[in-house]
Amino acid sequence: MTYLKQFGIILLFSLIGEGIHAIVPLPIPASIYGIVLLFAALMLGIVKLESVDKAGSFLIEIMPIMFIPAAVGLVESWDILRSRAVVYLLAMAVSTVVVMAAAGRATQAVIRRTGGKKS
């Protein structure tokens, strides 16, 4: 029953995000609105972490499974992708390095700012 309640809370914020997406004419996915609203509710104490902790952890654990349909789609589209495969692989490699470098720099900045203290 705990998982159902927690999933319900997460789905409620997703639904609210869908509603905002339908009203606000910005090119932002509805899921982002929902995530930001849930984050704000957690930070403001409107929703307690314990209210979504177990369901959130479960969703993170099964996240790799959610990429299987996308991978199958890429395999099925190989005929279309083959002609530009080198360009796509190069773009993926460069963007991966850029994201890793940015994440590393951001982490270092946070560590320096907090003095390396654990919270």
The answer, yes or no, to whether residue 118 has pLDDT greater than 90, is no
Domain chopping of the chain, boundaries: 1-66, 68-119
- H helices present in 1-119, as ranges: 2-23, 30-44, 53-61, 63-66, 68-76, 78-81, 85-114
Contact 20, 44 (CB under 8 A): no
Q: Is 13 exposed, middle or buried (0-12, 13-18, 19+ CB in 10 A)?
A: buried
Q: Model confidence over 8-43: pLDDT tens digits?
A: 999 999 999 999 999 998 999 999 999 999 999 999
What tokens appear for 87 in the block?
């360009």
